[in-house]
């Protein structure tokens, strides 16, 4: 019977092509607008580590100038740094109280394969971190693996690179064991990670969350041994009058420049870790550090995203506007359906006379609404893809992931179109079932 | 088969009450061919609507095959219409985007028939009206008379107890009208009762009974000559 009704719906659709296309067009434009904003909002607000977002947390220690806070939050309260000093980061690493530790910074230097000519060197941003970076943040390897614990401790010159860089430097071959020259230092490749873009890129600040992941990774200790220091790209904050013009000076200063994440095997350990942070802070107060009153923070991925405002207010407002536009489109579709179904009064009268119940009529027109919604949804999906592609071009600073629909969103697009078209069809359908019956029908 | 006791119908619109049909009794037996005549606006269509369960009478009782129909649910009345009544309209009312087969099959879709049984019934009905060879044609490819034949096939396909026809030849020229009349008489001879509104006294005379409606009053009339 379903087949029968969809056949009728299709015939009816073809019978008034202009009206039908107008309905489909109106729905598809509304759906496209809604889904473009929803996609951006949804992808920005997605949980990037769904299976362990509550077990991975960022350490914020309130080591800052007692005379004034580092900044103020939106609500006017004083904020605390979300990066650590070198000495605190090293102290936390040495205490080893979490299951995995990921301190990280970045530096700029020239990069080339050992075999390549010096003139082929390109300047890149290098992520300087611990061996756990990949497993904690979920970066998958295609060749090799992360470096060893010894490499972290001894600062061995080993490197992990992205698939894209591996394609560029080594034509996509398994490059484990090959050498890369960073600045003037020889680094040995230990692993290559696949294309990887957590969306949002939760482990950095909000303004960086939708930018591409960095292409090279080395042990933090190796940066220090090899003295890579690029003050302009480091993103650091200092106070007081400590000298900070060399890496060594920065390391012994009160400047904050190291982000620090930890992973726990169970959520319960989080509480204990926070207590450890408090104890550490208390200890440091004895030597005159940590004199500000605001509490430390141990923020899970979701808490950090929330605090950073990963989804901006403008985004949320955009979704509201787009939904309002969709609503207006649907109201138009409703009136078009009214016209359409009214024009079929003769057929309704006939079908009712020969035995169709009101439910039969409702199902028939319901299928017509579904068909219109489905076509509107499919075309709307195509329009939304075009719109997202245009946005990707317009905002190159956002990674394309943010402007890309996943399967869930695609299915939702069509489902939303069908659902709303059925919903806004209810009134026209109800009216159609109320057609006055008579043996003297107007012509079909 | 069809029994009406004190049935009447009034319309109330904007505080104006129109007595479309005054109370009347009427009984129609299986196999009768009843012509309903009367001037325009006298209540013929209203009477047919009540007989066809398309409208509710406002007074009296109406029994269809011994069953009281007053106050039945829409669902129940729909199924009675579907199984017991075949409708034939003045303007044929075939669905233009469906071919003849699908048009005739349409009422059967609202009943629990298998696809095979539906198909058999449709082909039989088209056979009966002499259009079996054109089942894949579309209504607009046929003449008015042929279209009305298809409509009759549609009414017959569900094997109803009776046919209701509201001026079935009103849109046809006299030659086509004659064809339709003789088809209806054939169908009647095979046992299906017919209740037909007509303006044409010649046609009425071919019925087995004539009911006249005048200003909402229903009266039996003598048939001048038996057909
Ligand atoms: N739905 C209705 N509402 C109000 N009055 C109606 C309605 N249907 C019919 N009537 C009135 O009932 C009377 C009989 O109409 P009808 O049965 O159509 O006559 P006929 O078919 O004999 O021409 C007319 O006066 C008509 O105006
Ligand atoms: Mg009439």
Range A124-141 average pLDDT: 96
Assign A221 a pLDDT band (cuts: 50, 70, 90).
Answer: very high
Mutate to test the interface with B, among A17, A340, A346, A354 (most CBs of B within 10 A): A354
Q: State the ipTM, two decimals.
A: 0.94
CB < 8 Å to B48, chain A? 439
Assign A243 a pLDDT band (cuts: 50, 70, 90).
Answer: confident
- Over residues A309-335, the pLDDT tens digits come to 767 777 788 889 999 999 999 999 999
Assign B225 a pLDDT band (cuts: 50, 70, 90).
Answer: low
Q: Indicate whether B227 pLDDT > 90.
A: no
B41 pocket-lining for ligand 1 (C-beta < 6 Å)? yes
CB < 8 Å to B109, chain A? 1, 4
CA distance A398 to B149: 69
Nearest to B81 among A1, A355, A438 (CB): A355
Assign A397 a pLDDT band (cuts: 50, 70, 90).
Answer: low
Protein residue with its CA nearest to atom 17 in ligand 1:
B43
Range A83-104 average pLDDT: 96
Mean pLDDT over each residue of chain B, to the nearest integer: 93
Mutate to test the interface with B, among A355, A361, A441 (most CBs of B within 10 A): A355
Tokens standing for residue A365: 């027109």
CATH topology for B2-221? Answer: Rossmann fold (3.40.50)
Nearest to A437 among B55, B79, B110 (CB): B55
Range A119-124 average pLDDT: 94
CB < 8 Å to B98, chain A? 11
Cα-to-centroid distance, B10 and ligand 1 (Å): 9
CA distance A378 to chain B (A): 26
Assign A244 a pLDDT band (cuts: 50, 70, 90).
Answer: confident
Among the ranges given (A56-60, A99-103, A186-190, A210-214), the one the predictor scored with the smallest mean pLDDT: A210-214
B124 touches chain A (CB under 8 A): no
Q: Indicate whether A58 pLDDT > 70.
A: yes
Closest CA to B33 of B150, B179, B190: B190
Tell me the three state secondary structure of residue B9.
Answer: strand
B39 pocket-lining for ligand 1 (C-beta < 6 Å)? no
CA distance A79 to A70: 6
Among B45, B48, B211, B216, say which to mutate for ligand 1: greatest number of ligand atoms within 8 Å of CB: B45
Protein residue with its CA nearest to atom 16 in ligand 1:
B43
Protein residue with its CA nearest to atom 1 in ligand 1:
B11
Q: What angle do CA B37, B48, B18 make, to 5 degrees?
A: 85
Range A344-363 average pLDDT: 95
Q: Which atom of ligand 1 is nearest to the CA of B213?
A: 22
CA distance A437 to chain B (A): 6
Mean pLDDT over each residue of chain A, to the nearest integer: 92
CB < 8 Å to A347, chain B? 95
Cβ atoms < 10 Å from Cβ of B196: 25
Residues 6+ apart with CB under 8 A from A304: A57, A58, A202
Cβ atoms < 10 Å from Cβ of B13: 7
B198 pocket-lining for ligand 1 (C-beta < 6 Å)? no
B11 pocket-lining for ligand 1 (C-beta < 6 Å)? yes
CA distance A339 to chain B (A): 18
Among the ranges given (A173-177, A207-211, A266-270, B71-75), the one the predictor scored with the smallest mean pLDDT: A207-211
Among the ranges given (A104-113, A435-444, B51-60, B162-171), the one the predictor scored with the smallest mean pLDDT: A435-444
In contact, A216 and A225? CB cutoff 8 Å:
no
Mutate to test the interface with A, among B78, B83, B86, B168 (most CBs of A within 10 A): B78
Residue in chain A lying closest to B113 (CA): A1
Range B94-108 average pLDDT: 96
Assign B105 a pLDDT band (cuts: 50, 70, 90).
Answer: very high
């Amino acid at each position: 019977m379903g087949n029968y009704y969809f056949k009728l719906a299709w015939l009816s659709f073809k019978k008034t092509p202009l009206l039908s296309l107008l309905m489909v067009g109106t729905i598809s434009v509304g759906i496209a607008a809604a889904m473009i904003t929803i996609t951006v909002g949804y992808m920005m607000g997605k949980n990037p580590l769904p299976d362990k977002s509550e077990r991975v947390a960022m350490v914020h220690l309130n080591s800052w100038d007692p005379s004034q806070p580092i900044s103020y939050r939106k609500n006017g309260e004083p904020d605390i740094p979300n990066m650590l000093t070198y000495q605190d980061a090293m102290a936390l690493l040495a205490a080893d109280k979490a299951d995995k530790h990921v301190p990280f910074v970045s530096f700029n230097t020239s990069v080339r394969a050992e075999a390549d000519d010096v003139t082929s060197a390109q300047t890149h941003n290098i992520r300087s971190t611990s061996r756990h970076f990949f497993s904690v943040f979920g970066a998958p390897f295609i060749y090799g693996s992360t470096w060893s614990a010894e490499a972290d401790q001894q600062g061995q010159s080993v490197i992990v690179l992205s698939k894209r860089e591996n394609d560029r430097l080594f034509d996509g071959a398994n490059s484990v064991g090959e050498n890369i020259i960073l600045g003037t230092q020889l680094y040995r490749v230990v692993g290559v990670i696949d294309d990887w873009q957590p969306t949002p890129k939760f482990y950095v600040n909000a303004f960086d969350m939708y930018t591409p992941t960095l292409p090279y990774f080395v042990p933090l200790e190796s940066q220090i041994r090899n003295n890579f220091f690029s003050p302009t790209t480091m993103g650091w904050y200092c106070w007081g009058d400590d000298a900070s013009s060399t890496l060594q000076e920065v390391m012994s200063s009160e400047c904050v420049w190291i982000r620090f994440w930890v992973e726990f095997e169970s959520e319960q350990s989080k509480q204990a870790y926070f207590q450890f942070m408090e104890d550490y802070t208390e200890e440091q107060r004895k030597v005159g550090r940590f004199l500000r009153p605001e509490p430390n923070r141990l923020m899970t991925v979701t808490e950090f995203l929330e605090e950073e405002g990963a989804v901006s207010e403008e985004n949320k407002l955009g979704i509201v506007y787009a939904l309002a536009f969709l609503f207006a489109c649907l109201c138009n579709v409703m009136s078009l359906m009214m016209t359409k179904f009214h024009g079929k009064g003769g057929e309704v009268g006939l079908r009712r006379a020969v035995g169709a119940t009101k439910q039969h009529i409702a199902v028939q027109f319901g299928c017509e609404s579904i068909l219109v919604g489905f076509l509107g949804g499919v075309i709307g999906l195509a329009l939304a893809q075009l719109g997202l592609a245009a946005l990707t071009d317009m905002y190159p600073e956002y990674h394309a992931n943010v402007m890309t629909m996943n399967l869930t969103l695609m299915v939702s697009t069509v489902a939303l179109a069908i659902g709303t078209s059925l919903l806004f069809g209810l009134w026209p359908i109800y009216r159609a079932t109320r057609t006055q019956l008579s043996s003297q029908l107007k012509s079909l | 088969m069809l029994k009406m006791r004190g049935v009447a119908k009034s319309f109330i619109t904007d505080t104006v009450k129109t007595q479309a049909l005054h109370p009347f009794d009427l009984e129609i037996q299986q196999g009768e061919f009843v012509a309903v005549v009367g001037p325009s606006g006298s209540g013929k269509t209203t009477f047919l609507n009540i007989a066809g369960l398309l409208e509710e009478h406002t007074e009296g009782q109406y029994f269809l095959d011994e069953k009281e129909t007053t106050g039945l649910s829409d669902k129940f009345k729909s199924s009675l219409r579907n199984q017991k009544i075949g409708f034939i309209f003045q303007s044929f009312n075939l669905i233009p985007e469906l071919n003849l087969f699908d048009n005739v099959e349409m009422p059967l879709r609202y009943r629990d028939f298998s696809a095979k049984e539906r198909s058999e019934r449709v082909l039989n009905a088209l056979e009966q009206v002499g259009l079996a060879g054109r089942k894949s044609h579309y209504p607009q490819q046929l003449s008015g008379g042929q279209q009305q034949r298809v409509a009759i096939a549609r009414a017959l396909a569900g094997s109803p107890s009776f046919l209701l026809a509201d001026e079935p030849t009103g849109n046809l020229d006299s030659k086509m009208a004659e064809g339709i009349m003789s088809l209806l008489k054939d169908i009647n001879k095979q046992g299906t009762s017919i209740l037909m509104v007509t303006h044409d006294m010649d046609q009425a005379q071919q019925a087995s009974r004539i009911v006249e409606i005048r200003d909402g009053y229903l009266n039996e009339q003598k048939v001048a000559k038996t057909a």
